[in-house]
Amino acid sequence: MADRREIAEIARFAIPLTQCQRHRLGLPRKKGIQSFYKRPGYAVFYQDLTHIDLEAFAAPQDTLSEALNRRPTRSLNLPGS
């Protein structure tokens, strides 16, 4: 979560999300203005983060970490290699 540790920090980090990003996150639309998605607040993150399945959340992170730490086994034909 971008090195944010407290729920309030995560909520503040989400303030500048664009409408497209809010749409992709599945946030509700604002009443009366159907093209405007609401900004997620503290309560949204508190509810989601306190009920998250940590094992399911960590699995893709472990896979990504392993992929990033893997070294190539052969030359990539780069100049100077």
Confidence of residue 16 (pLDDT cuts 50, 70, 90): confident
Examine the pLDDT at 75 and tell me if it is beyond 70: no
Q: What's the pLDDT tens digit per position in 27-71?
A: 888 888 777 888 888 887 787 777 778 787 777 766 666 666 666
In the prediction, which pLDDT does 73 show?
Answer: 55
Task: State the pLDDT at residue 23.
Answer: 87
Residue whose pair of structure tokens reads 């990539």 in the numeric block = 76
Q: Is residue 77 part of a domain?
A: no
| HEC per residue, 2-14 | CCCCCHHHHHHHC
In a domain, 28, yes or no: yes
Residues 22, 39 contacting (CB under 8 angstroms): yes
Domain that residue 15 falls in: 7-69
Residue 40 lies in a domain: yes
Token pair 């993150």 is at which residue? 45
